[in-house]
Structure formats: structure tokens, C-alpha cells
Structure 1
Amino acid sequence: MSQPTKWSQFGVLITVFFFWGFVAASNSIFIPFCKEFFHLDQIQSQLIGSAFYGAYFYGSLILFIVSTVSGIDVLNKIGYKKGIIYGLLISVVGAIALAFISGSEAPTFAAVLIAFFIIALGFSLQQTAAQPFAIALGPVESGAHRLNMAGGVNSFGTLLGPLVVSWLLFGTVKEGESSPANISNIQTLYFFLSGLFILASLVFAVAKLPKTTSNETLEKSPKAMIALVIIGLLFPPVLFADQIHLQFGITKSTTIVTSLVLILLVLFVSMLLAARNKSGWGAMAYPQLVLGMIAIFVYVGVEVTVDNNFGALLKLQEFGGYDEAHISHLISLYWGSLMIGRWTGAVSVFNFSKGVKKVLGIVVPFAAFGIILLVNLIKGNKVDDFLLYPICIAIAVGAFLFANEKPVKLLLTVSVLGAIAMVIALTNTGMVANFAIISCGLCASVMWPCIFALAVSGLGKYTSQGSAFLIMMILGGAILPPAQGAIIDIDKVSPGSTVMGTSFTHFSYIVPLLCFAYLAWHTLKTKSVLKKQGLDVDAQVAAGH
């Protein structure tokens, strides 16, 4: 007989999901602020995201290397509970460091980056442990339900993060007014967050939780480890592009684009080599997994870059002429769009009839939009700009209903819609372009589970290892934003220059357009790969209805 879900323990667990979303989305406000405060160019400002998402990769890579070399699954040995506690304590160190840095007389951007890296390093360990922990806190058959609920809490954190950080930095600023921001205002937030991290770790420490470790055998994959280590060596030049420019005269744009191309090349070459000889590649011997790794890299990259560079676009008069104090409502709408999609997707895990699911599939998105309006009104933001956005939501609802929960059909549909939205954004200005960019949050919201489902299909005993490799590819959020920032900086280097009749800041959204186009290709390619193996994920989902 299966154990009932331990809701009190699960309630504690989902707090860490909230933290991840809150801090990650807060970067959207913190990045344009740091750009002004530290007098950075666009590439430099994007290093906040690079440090943050890069830490996820290195945290996962370190665990993988240590486990492979020692022959012991480190996280499995210490247990998921202790893994979360240790992760929280690492994040405490980063949060306290950032609080002291922001309160110092002469804060430096390098110190801020180090603090963000430490916070996210803790998040990496938390996330690696929390996902299987959520499944373990109740019946296995309802594990997906708990993960979707946790994802909904994560999305609520992404909605509140930009609003809270904007309020701390600028206060409640009315339209037309300006407010001097002071980085010391961040001190209160991160002391508070460090206190919450400590409290959460104490609760986990004293809580009586079930044994939550996996009995799966550790699968060694030396060739896969070499490929991942090479990627780990190719990423640091992104963080040190400034120093490379000063020492060797190589432009920051060249360094970043070179790292990006080489990392993708390593993944594609690995897939080709594994196709010739599967020995030693582990999960990477399966082409759907490597394709999935590249897709996660691109998906996370596009989700982050669409938003993290949005502040630079919104400063242009033809896109509203907003300063840093007045963009939180649009930033929150973007992250709120991710919440809309994820809350809608969570409906599918409940045991409702088809009719009820369809009704909820329509009602939930607009109810979530109502919550977005409410929290913005509470913060003091004007929401007049939002009145036409329900049109975008209605289109997304139509796409979700059309795809009918089938991973291939859904991923292809939202990838194409994302590409169309980017074409609209690139060929228009004002709120039409702004809404097109924001609506990419609706498209991206359901991509992660679709990509994951396709990537781990048919992996068998390598499913757990494959999942770990996919999580490592969050690294895309560390590289694609500065790559887009490199295009934006052309406006600074060559003021008044244009491409296709528009500024380079506007044209930079060609990067997410290419990303969505790639994800559409990825969907068709992966479907073909799986078909050759006799797998049809969409048919399996349809049969399960």
C-alpha cells in the first residue's frame, strides 16, 4: 500500500522552489540597475546571469565528476534531505556576502558576481536533490502532480521577484517620476533571504523525513565526463571576456560567440562519436538525449535572454522610453506569462474528465492573469498597458488545447508561435513589439517538460544520468544573454548605426528568433530519431488518456 503524500513536509520543500524563481527573476531588475550603477556595457551587465546560471552547470558537473571518480553517487550517499540542507547553507553564504557587499561604501561588480555564483551554487545542489525528493514524499504515481505544484510555486516566485526588488531599489515610483536607486537597499532583501535560507535548513534538519535515496546503480560514462569537462573549460572565457580583451585585444563579442559555438560543437561532435561507438558514453550514447541537452541549452538561453536584455530595449523611446524604475510591471508580466503556462499545464496531472480539463485549461490562464494584475496593483504599478495582453493569452490557450498535452505536438506548436512572435517584435515597435516579446514567456512556459520527456525516452537504466546531464544544460542561460548583449553593444560602439532600418538593440532579438526556429527543428529531428527506435511519445500520451 502506498504512503499518502506528506503535505506538511512537502510544504517545507516547495519553499526552495520559490527561492529559485524569486532570485532568478529578480535578475531582470538587478541587471539594468547594475548596468547604470557600475557603468557597464550590455555584455558586462549580462554577466550576472552568466554567473548565476553558470553555477548550476558547475555544481552539477562537480557532483558528477566526484561520483564518477569515487564510484559512489555522492548525493545518494548523503541523502536528498542533507543535500538540500547543504545547498541552503551554501546559498546562505552567498546571500550574506551579497548583503555585506551591497551595504559597503565601495561595492564592486566582481564581488556581486561572486556572491550570485555562490547563491546559485547552493541552488544547484538544492535542485538536484529536491526534484527526486518531491517524488519521494508520497505515492510515485502522483509524483508528477507534486512536481507540477512545486513548479507553480516556483513561477509565483518569478512573478514576485521583479516587483519586490524594484520596490526595494526604487520604492513606489509614479509614471513620469524618477527615483535614485541605491544598491544598499538590496542589503535588507538579502539579509532577509539568508534568514529564510537558515530557517528552512533548520526545519529540514529537525523534520522527520522518510529515507529518500535511490537504489539505482551508478553508471560510469568516462567519455561523457570528458565532453562535459571540455564544456566546463570553454565557458570561463565568457566571464573573463573583459580581461581577455585587455590582455590580447580580442573583442568581448568574439570571445563570447566563440565559446558558444565551441560548446555547441562539442555536443554535436559527441553525438556523432557516440553513434559510431556507444561504449563509455553512457546516456550520451542516445542521440535523443544529446539533442535534448542542446535543446535545454537553447530553451533556457532563450527564456533568460528574451527578458534579461528587455530592459535595454525598453529604454528606447520607440519602445516606451522606460527607465529602470518603471519596467517592473512589464518584467513581471513576462515571468507571469511563464506562470500562466505552467499553472495551465498543471491541470493535466489532475484526474479530471476531458470536459473539465478543457474548461480549466481556459479558466486557469485568465485567473493567473488576474493574479498578475492584482500583485502589480498592490505594488502600485499602472496596469493600463496590460489591457490587450489577454489576446496573447487566448492564442496560447488555443495552442495548448490544439496540442492536447502531446509533447511533440506541443513543443512544435509553441516553438513556431515563439518564432512568429519574434518576427512580429522585429518588424514592429511600441507595445505591439513589447507584447510579442513578453508573449514568448507563454511559449517557453511548457517547453521544459516537453524537451525532457522526449530526451529521456528509451534511456532505460541511463534515465537518471540523462536527467542530470539535461539539468547541466541550464548553462545556456549563462551564454546566450551576453551573446545577444554583444549585438546591443554595437549601438554603443557605433551610435546611430542601423541594420535593416532599425537599431542593433532592436535587431538583437534575432537571437531568440533563431533559438525558437532551432527548437522547432529539434522537435522534428527528435521525433524522427525516436521513430527509428520504435518510440512514439505522442501516441503513448494519447493512449494514456
Structure 2
Amino acid sequence: MTDRTASPRVALAVTTTLFFMWGFITVLNDVLIPHLKSVFTLNYTQAMLVQLIFFGAYFVMSLPAGKVIERVGYRNGIMIGLAVTGVGALLFIPAAQTVSYAMFLGAFFVLASGITLLQVAANPYVSLLGDPRYASSRLNLAQALNSLGTTLAPKLGGVLILSATVLGAAELAQLAPAEQLAYRAQQAALVTGPYIAVAATLFVLAFVVWMFRLPPLTEATASADAHKHRFSDVLRHRHLRLGVVAIFLYVGAEVSIGSFMINYLSMASIGNVSEATAAGYVSLYWGGAMIGRFVGFALMRTLDPRRLLGGCAALAALLVACTMVAQGNVALWSVVAIGLFNSIMFPTIFTVAIEGMGTMTDKASSLLIMAIVGGAIVPVLQGALADHIGLQHAFVLPLLCYVFIVYYGFAGSLVRRAPSATPSAGMAASSQR
């Protein structure tokens, strides 16, 4: 029988397609949040339940996902993740038909559970697929494809979902109960088409992954030693422990800014534009991240990833501060420009955090993916702040998140030997890669 195992380059190409898809799916939330807020007349806190459920799935499902990867390997884990994500996308059909916010939230949870499995498998896989010196550079390239998905999703979603006439809460209250129900059903139905297309694409991708056999990596998941480590052993590594916090805060800040951007730019004192027009600016926000990741891919061939991380976080913090105090075009372009400096943060934090983890890499990856729950918690907290102090001032929360990442980049990410670390662990990882 002919060996159909894909070459590392083909494997990288197939895997980066997954990054595009989960980026596209994740950022569709930024379009759905204002849409569902309008359909179900929600306040900011209630609307952010979408992100609480979606990113909460990362926290709940990351450890089980790590166990699945240990048992079935990267390739089968990726196929299972694609299938689960596809099922979650199809669940938007009954949610729209029943006009149920609770069912929408359930669909988001299933969708995110599949993406969690993909993240736990694909992020370390790309990091380990080649020379370890270029792990950050390689993951930045893959994340650039993720950013292409996040760039296209708001624009396409704005056209397909937000282009219809939307009634305000006062106008909706004037309708008879039957008319209100009909209006909500009509608005909810706008969601189904995009998610049917997403589900079909995911199932095709699962078939493609089956066709192209990804090369096995004989690191963490293949080593008998991997099963001997506990999560407490992993957390003894300071740079990994602080990396978990950094991922939590970074994803929280990035998601929170994207989630509120349409409502923020629609404010009369900021952009004074329609929600559909504001969705185009969200595309620019994520497009900046895509450009920054391609640039980061090149820069990290020569520059220290840690210093680049700290510098980008400092510039992002300054832009958030400007967003909080400025108005008009200055505030508008300040918040959009944050995406450019967000670009390298996730892949760089991830790769420096798993550096030298050796046979503990799979468990370290699970903890880092679990930390994506920051995307569930920070937006809800910012939503609560926005309900009390106003949306513009509530951006103080992402500002504080970036301040910690500045510290992590310049100091917290430095690798120090854990108190009971296995001396050969880092060398084992290098030789196995």
C-alpha cells in the first residue's frame, strides 16, 4: 500500500486552513452579538453571554480535549474537532426556527467545543512541525491565515446578517405580540444561511484531513512519559504559569474590543455610522492583525520574540488609552489600529510559554487553550462596566490586560528551571522535533 503521509509543508498548508476556519467562525460572533441584542432586546451584559458561553467552552472542554489528543493523536483529533464544530453550526437552524436565545447559546457552546479540540491539536502541532528555533515564526504564519478569516467574517456577516432593517426597542414595543414574534423570526432566520455554509465547509475539511495523512510527531502525545506528568508539574514552570495568565488577558482584551466595536463605532460621538457600516471597520481591525502576523513572521527570523511581544503590547495599551479619551475619527482609528499590534500576541505567548516543556507539551497546550476563557469573562465584565459607567470608559479593562502582557513580554516569559523539572525534558523535546 502506498504511503500517503503528507510532507511537512503539505501538513502545514492543511493545518493552516483550520486556523482560517476557526478565525472566521469566532469573529462572526462580533456580528451576531449586536444582531441578537436587537432581536431579543438585550442589554450589554446579556448580549455578552454569547462570548461567555462560547469562550467558556474553552475552559470546560480544554482538559477533555487534551485527553482526546493523547488517546487518538493529532490527525484524528482534528477530524473529530471539525465534525463537532460542523454539528454546532447546524444547531443554529433549530435555534433560529424556535427564536430561542437559549438555543442560540447552546449552539455556540457545541461550536466552541469543536474549535477547542482543533486549537489544542493544531497550535502545538504547528509549533513542533519543524525547526524549534522558528516555532514562533511558524505559528505567526498560521495565525495570519486565522486573521484572514477574522478579516473576512465581519464584512461578509455584515452584508448577510446586519443589512436588513432593524427596529429599535421602542418601535418593537409598538407592534402587536404576533407581529413582534414574526419580526424576531424573520431576523433570526438571517443567521441560518451563513452557518449552513460554514458546516458544509467544515465537513469537507474533515475529509481533506483524512485524505492527507498528517505526519505523526513523536513528542508529547507519543511518549509514555507524557502520561506520567500531572498538571501541577506543568504549572511549576513560571514562564508557562504566567503564560496562562497572559493568554487569558490577551484573548479577553482582543475579544472584548471586537465584541463592542460595532456598538462603539455606532455612537454619535465616535463614528456615528450604521451597524452594517461599523462591521466594515471590524474587518479592518482584524485585517490589521493579519498584516501584523505576516510582518511578525518575517521579523521573528531576526528579532527576539519576547521583546517584540512587549513592544506591541505597550503600543496597544497606548491606543486603548487614546480610545478612552478621544472622540470622532481619532477614537475610531485608534480602536481599529489596536488590531495591528494584537497580531503577534497569541502565537508568541503560546510558543514562548511551551518552550522547553518537552513531554509536558500536550498538557501545557491544554492549559493555554483553557486560558482562552478570558474571552468569556473579560467581555462580560466590560459589558457590566459599560452598563454602569458608559461604553467608552469601560475600555479601561482591556487597557489593564495589555499592561500585564507588557510585563510578560519583557520579564515574565523568561525561562527558568522549575523546582522539580526533569533536566532532560527540554533536550528530549529538541531531539524529538
TM-score normalised according to structure 2 size: 0.82
> Is 1:504–2:402 an aligned residue pair?
no
> Is 1:204–2:184 an aligned residue pair?
no
Q: What secondary structure does 1:285 align onto?
A: coil
Equivalences for residues 262-281 of structure 1 within 5 A: 281=232
Letter in 2 for 1:511: L
1:221 Cα deviation from its structure 2 partner:
5.4
Structure 1 gap segments, 5+ residues each: 68-73, 174-179, 225-280, 351-403, 491-502, 534-545
Structure 2 gap segments, 5+ residues each: 166-182, 420-433
- Give 2:379's aligned residue: 481
- Between the aligned partners of 1:108 and 1:4, the Cα distance in structure 2 is 44
- Give 2:100's aligned residue: 108
- Between the aligned partners of 2:163 and 2:198, the Cα distance in structure 1 is 19
- Between the aligned partners of 1:202 and 1:529, the Cα distance in structure 2 is 40
Letter in 2 for 1:520: V
Q: What secondary structure does 1:471 align onto?
A: helix
Q: What secondary structure does 2:99 align onto?
A: coil
1:98 Cα deviation from its structure 2 partner:
0.7
Contact kept, 8 Å, 1:81 with 1:212, in 2: the verdict is: no
Equivalences for residues 7-406 of structure 1 within 5 A: 7-64=9-66, 67=67, 74-102=68-96, 104=97, 106-134=98-126, 146-171=138-163, 182-212=187-217, 214-216=221-223, 217-220=225-228, 224=231, 281-348=232-299, 405-406=303-304
Residue deviations 1:435-490, cap 9 Å, x none? Answer: 11122112211112332344334545434422321121011011000100001112
- Between the aligned partners of 1:464 and 1:184, the Cα distance in structure 2 is 40
- Give 1:436's aligned residue: 334
Q: What secondary structure does 2:41 align onto?
A: coil
Letter in 2 for 1:522: Y
- Give 2:424's aligned residue: none
1:15 Cα deviation from its structure 2 partner:
2.4
1:5 Cα deviation from its structure 2 partner:
3.5
Letter in 2 for 1:198: F
State the identity %: 32
| Greater RCO (CA < 8 Å, at least 6 residues apart) | 2
- Between the aligned partners of 2:296 and 2:234, the Cα distance in structure 1 is 28
- Between the aligned partners of 2:272 and 2:214, the Cα distance in structure 1 is 52
1:185 Cα deviation from its structure 2 partner:
1.9
Contact kept, 8 Å, 1:4 with 1:139, in 2: the verdict is: no
Letter in 1 for 2:81: G
Letter in 2 for 1:112: F
Contact kept, 8 Å, 2:116 with 2:369, in 1: the verdict is: no
Aligned residues: 393
1:12 Cα deviation from its structure 2 partner:
3.5
Letter in 2 for 1:328: A
1:7 Cα deviation from its structure 2 partner:
4.5
Q: Are residues 310 and 117 of structure 1, via their aligned partners in 2, closer, same or farther at CA, if it must alter by over 3 Å?
A: same
- Give 2:308's aligned residue: 410
- Alignment partner of 2:404 out of 518, 521, 524: 518
Letter in 1 for 2:26: A
Q: Are residues 527 and 197 of structure 1, via their aligned partners in 2, closer, same or farther at CA, if it must alter by over 3 Å?
A: closer
Q: What secondary structure does 1:49 align onto?
A: helix
Residue deviations 1:380-423, cap 9 Å, x none? Answer: xxxxxxxxxxxxxxxxxxxxxxxx62133222212221221122
- Between the aligned partners of 1:289 and 1:469, the Cα distance in structure 2 is 9
> Is 1:447–2:398 an aligned residue pair?
no
Q: Are residues 118 and 408 of structure 1, via their aligned partners in 2, closer, same or farther at CA, if it must alter by over 3 Å?
A: same
Letter in 1 for 2:72: I
Structure showing greater radius of gyration is: 1
- Between the aligned partners of 2:128 and 2:411, the Cα distance in structure 1 is 34
Q: What secondary structure does 1:316 align onto?
A: coil
- Between the aligned partners of 2:91 and 2:397, the Cα distance in structure 1 is 34
- Between the aligned partners of 2:146 and 2:274, the Cα distance in structure 1 is 27
More moved, 461-470 vs 307-316 = 461-470
1:157 Cα deviation from its structure 2 partner:
0.5
- Between the aligned partners of 2:413 and 2:130, the Cα distance in structure 1 is 33
- Give 1:366's aligned residue: none
1:305 Cα deviation from its structure 2 partner:
0.7
1:140 Cα deviation from its structure 2 partner:
7.1
Contact kept, 8 Å, 2:139 with 2:347, in 1: the verdict is: no
Task: Please tell me the root mean square deviation across aligned C-alpha atoms, in Å.
Answer: 2.8
- Give 1:497's aligned residue: none
